[in-house]
């Protein structure tokens, strides 16, 4: 068993909690849709990030912390980009699935309700091999999982612990500070980032720019008309 410094990440799909699948079709379609979305996330996962485990509606990822400073800096940039790309691929796959939903069951009808959240923590983990599987364990592995249940009143976010936030600074992005308290773990300082807000702002900004461009074009037309 070896203890290593590691970035721990969980990408979790939620939104189907409101109903419990009571018929076979809904149950099958629920699994199929979640599976498709998990696959979409996993496709984005590239070395040095690795999949530790599939956990139902979630995927547990990790990245060994590189001892070499410049290599680590590169890895951080990679993690940064990946965290944000998870939300992009998730939402575009969600749209595709919603458009091609085969039926009117509760699962297919509610595809648009699905959301992604990602928890990120940096700490130590024990690695041990069981056959072809690598198992991660330790207090920090418990912490990252525990943070899936938190006090955030939002459906889609990246929640970073203070440890993770200090290293994986999502550049130029505003985060909301908070604290999560668990009976057995005590208080954990957190930083939440809301990608959907970010995207909305980006889209709004793009629209504003486009409108400005149009206005600009029109003023040119006028100039020409008057010339
Ligand atoms: Zn269906």
DSSP 116-155: EEEEEEEEEEEEEEETTEEEEESHHHHHHHHTTS-S---S
Chain segment 201-210, per-residue pLDDT in tens: 555 555 555 5
Task: With beta carbons less than 8 A apart as the criterion, state whether 110 and 16 touch.
Answer: yes
- Average pLDDT on 61-71 reads 92
- Average pLDDT on 41-53 reads 94
In the predicted model, is pLDDT for residue 11 greater than 80? yes
In the predicted model, is pLDDT for residue 69 greater than 70? yes
Chain segment 85-94, per-residue pLDDT in tens: 999 999 999 9
In the predicted model, is pLDDT for residue 197 greater than 90? no
Ligand 1 centroid–CA 23 distance in Å is: 10
Report d(CA 107, CA 97) in Å as an integer: 11
113 or 174, higher pLDDT = 113
Ligand 1 centroid–CA 94 distance in Å is: 14
Assign 142 a pLDDT band (cuts: 50, 70, 90). very high
133 or 162, higher pLDDT = 162
Spell out where the chain has E strands.
2-14, 49-55, 58-64, 115-130, 133-137, 157-161, 176-182, 186-193
Report d(CA 37, CA 81) in Å as an integer: 19
Report d(CA 54, CA 154) in Å as an integer: 24
- Residue 60 has a pLDDT of 97
- Residue 211 has a pLDDT of 60
Ligand 1 centroid–CA 29 distance in Å is: 5
Assign 172 a pLDDT band (cuts: 50, 70, 90). low
Ligand 1 centroid–CA 34 distance in Å is: 12
In the predicted model, is pLDDT for residue 45 greater than 70? yes
Assign 101 a pLDDT band (cuts: 50, 70, 90). confident
Assign 2 a pLDDT band (cuts: 50, 70, 90). confident
Percent of the chain beyond pLDDT 90?
59
- Average pLDDT of the residues of the chain: 86
- Average pLDDT on 118-146 reads 95
Report d(CA 98, CA 36) in Å as an integer: 12
Ligand 1 centroid–CA 24 distance in Å is: 10
Report d(CA 22, CA 15) in Å as an integer: 16
Ligand 1 centroid–CA 98 distance in Å is: 10
In the predicted model, is pLDDT for residue 63 greater than 90? yes
In the predicted model, is pLDDT for residue 227 greater than 70? no
Which residues have a Cβ under 8 Å from the Cβ of 62 and sit 6 or more positions away? 6, 7, 8, 9, 49, 50, 52, 125, 136
Ligand 1 centroid–CA 25 distance in Å is: 6
Tell me how crowded residue 212 is: count the other CB atoms within 10 A of its CB.
10
């Amino acid at each position: 068993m070896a203890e290593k410094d590691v970035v721990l990440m969980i990408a979790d799909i939620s939104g189907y909690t409101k109903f419990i699948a009571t018929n076979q079709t809904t149950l099958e379609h629920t699994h199929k849709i979640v599976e498709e979305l998990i696959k979409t996330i996993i496709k984005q996962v590239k070395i040095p990030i690795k999949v530790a485990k599939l956990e139902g509606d979630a995927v547990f990822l990790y990245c060994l912390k590189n001892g070499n400073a410049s290599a680590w800096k590169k890895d951080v940039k990679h993690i940064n980009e990946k965290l944000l790309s998870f939300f992009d691929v998730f939402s575009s796959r969600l749209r595709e699935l919603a458009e091609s939903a085969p039926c009117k069951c509760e699962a297919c009808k509610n595809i648009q309700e699905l959301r992604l959240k990602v928890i990120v923590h940096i700490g130590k983990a024990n690695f041990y091999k069981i056959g072809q599987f690598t198992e991660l364990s330790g207090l920090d592995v418990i912490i990252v999982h525990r943070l899936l249940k938190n006090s955030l009143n939002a459906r889609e976010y990246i929640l970073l612990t203070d440890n993770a936030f200090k290293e994986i600074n999502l550049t130029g992005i505003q985060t909301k500070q908070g604290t999560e308290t668990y009976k057995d773990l005590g208080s954990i300082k957190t930083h939440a980032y809301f990608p959907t807000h970010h995207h909305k702002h980006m889209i709004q900004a793009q629209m504003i720019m486009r409108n400005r461009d149009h206005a600009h074009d029109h003023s040119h037309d006028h100039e020409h008309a008057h010339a």
